[in-house]
Structure 1
C-alpha cells in the first residue's frame, strides 16, 4: 500500500483571488466548484492530475502572520531571461519580495498576494522536465528522518538523502520533486501550506491512515469535525491530509 500526493493545499483569506494568482503564475486553469478554488494544468476539471500536483486554495478567516511557512513552492525557469521575465510578471500579478534571510543567492524569494512564500529559481538542469513547479520544499530538522517517513508513506522514489537534504519524485518521472532541507529550529506554528495525499482506488483509507500512524504520523485536530478527509502531522509536525479515495 502507498499514497499518492495529489495537491498542495494553500490557505487564504480570499481563496478565489489567490487561486487566480496561481493560475496566472503557472499558466494553469482555475476551477472553483464550491468553497475551494482548484488550480491545475489539466483544464481545471481534471482531478487528481495523472502526474504532478495541483493547487487547492481554501478560504480561512485568519490572515498569514509574519512566521515563514515551512513548506513552499520553487518555480522552474529555463534561462536568465525567463527568470527575470517571470519575476516581473509575478510582481505585476501581486507578488511581493520577501526577505527570509536568504542573502545573496541566484534565486528570488517572493510572496503571493497573501504573503505565502515561494521561490523563482535560476535555471537548473535537474528541473528541465518538471513543468512550472520545480519542487515542493519542506524545511525540517532531519532530512534523513523525513525521507524515511515520506518514502514509506508515498509511492514516490527516494532519489537523494544526506544530512542536509533529501529529495523524492514520482516513479513516472514527471512533475515536481518533493525536497526536504535542513534548517535550524523546530516547527512551532501551523503552516498555511500543506500536502494532500490520496489512496489509490481499491485501497482502504482507514488502513492507510493506520499505516501512517505506525510510521510515526499523529492525529491533528483542527476542529474539522465530520469530514471525509483525515488530518495528520508527520514526525516533525508538518500538517498533511489523507483524502477520500477518488474513482480516477
Structure 2
C-alpha cells in the first residue's frame, strides 16, 4: 500500500489570496503547482491546496479546519491574527457557552479556533483537525485506504491520524448535510506505487470511478459519494 494524502484542496475564486492567508496563519510557504497553490504538509501536518474554480459556494463547507490553542490568550491571539489577515467572525449556530470561535477565511471557508484544553486535539499540532461531513463507513474506508490508525470510533463519529501523529481527519456522522452538485473541497492523494493497482484496491474497498483528469489523475468517489483525486507520485 503506497497511498499518501498530499493535500486537502479547497476551490476558490482567488486561490492565491486564500493561500497567502493560510500561509500566514500556518507559517508555511506557498508552492505553485499544476493544480493551484499548495501549502505542503509534513508527516504530522496535513497539506492544503487552493485551486481556481468558478463554482459558487452554496451553504457550509463539507470540510473545515480546526486550529488549536495552548492557552486562552493564545486562542485570542490566533483569532486576532486571522482577523488582521482578513478573516471574519461568522455564526453557524454555535452556542454562547461553546468555547470554540468560528471564523471564515478570505475565501469564505469556515474554520474554528478551538479552545485551550481540548483533549481530543491534544498533541495534534496547530492544524489540529480536518473536520469532515461523513458517515462511520467512510471513516473506516479512509483508515484502510491510508493505512492510518482509527483513533476515534464512537457514536457514529470517527477519526484517523497518521502513524506519526499530528493532524486528525474526522467525520461527524449523521445527519449529513445535503450534498452539493460540486464538491468544493476534496482529498488529493498520490500513489507512490502503481496508480492502476491503487485504483483497483480502492474500488475493491467501496470507492467508485468518477472520471479522468487532463493531467492523468483519476477521480474516485468514496462510499459516501464524496469525490477525491488520485495521481501518480
Superposed pair shares fold, TM > 0.5: yes
Query: Which of 50, 58, 62 does residue 57 from structure 1 map onto?
Result: 50
2:65 alignment partner in structure 1: 73
CA distance in 1, matches of 2:172, 2:45: 21
Aligned partners of 1:16 and 1:37 also within 8 Å: yes
2:14 alignment partner in structure 1: 14
Q: Which moved more, 1:14-23 or 1:232-241?
A: 232-241
Give the deviation of 1:51 after TM superposition: 3.9
Aligned partners of 1:2 and 1:152 also within 8 Å: no
Q: Does 1:236 align with 2:216?
A: no
CA distance in 2, matches of 1:69, 1:204: 32
Aligned partners of 1:64 and 1:114 also within 8 Å: no
Give the deviation of 1:194 after TM superposition: 1.5
Aligned partners of 2:194 and 2:232 also within 8 Å: no
Aligned length: 230
1:118 alignment partner in structure 2: 111
**Unaligned 5+ residue runs, structure 2?**
none
1:181 alignment partner in structure 2: 172
CA distance in 1, matches of 2:92, 2:163: 32
* 1:40-51 pair list within 5 angstroms: 40=40, 49-51=42-44
CA distance in 2, matches of 1:34, 1:235: 28
Normalising by the residue count of structure 1, what TM-score does the alignment of the two structures yield? 0.85
CA distance in 2, matches of 1:117, 1:239: 20
Aligned partners of 2:7 and 2:46 also within 8 Å: yes
Normalising by the residue count of structure 2, what TM-score does the alignment of the two structures yield? 0.90
CA separation of 1:87/1:159 partners in 2, compared to 1, >3 Å: closer, same or farther?
Answer: same
CA distance in 1, matches of 2:45, 2:178: 27
Aligned partners of 1:70 and 1:138 also within 8 Å: yes
